[in-house]
Amino acid sequence: MSHERFLAAAQRVLTGDDSIRAANELEGVVIDDYPGDERVDELGAVLALYSPGQGTPYTDVGELHTAI
């Protein structure tokens, strides 16, 4: 498990990269490095539905920032 990978991917999103690519990178880190870890369950759910600007049922950048 590499907390550095998580921190780098999360920081990318939190500092303004709201692209789906950045979210997918963070989701990959969560899936690969934190399988079954309840601390990131909500974040995983938000990332799975991340699609900025699409409205319900999808999540947007504000929800992603809150989950991180």
Q: What is the DSSP letter of 58?
A: S
Q: How far apart are CA 26 and CA 43, in angstroms?
A: 10
Is the model's pLDDT at 2 over the cut of 90?
no
Is the model's pLDDT at 68 over the cut of 60?
yes
CA distances from 32 to 3, 44, 54, 55 (A): 12, 11, 27, 28
pLDDT digits (tens, 9 = 90+) for 46-65: 999 999 889 889 999 999 99
pTM here is 0.88
- The total of other beta-carbon atoms located within 10 Å of residue 36's CB is 6
The pLDDT mean for the chain works out to 93
**Segments making up each domain of the chain, as ranges:** 3-67
pLDDT digits (tens, 9 = 90+) for 11-60: 999 999 999 999 999 999 999 999 989 999 999 999 999 998 898 899 99
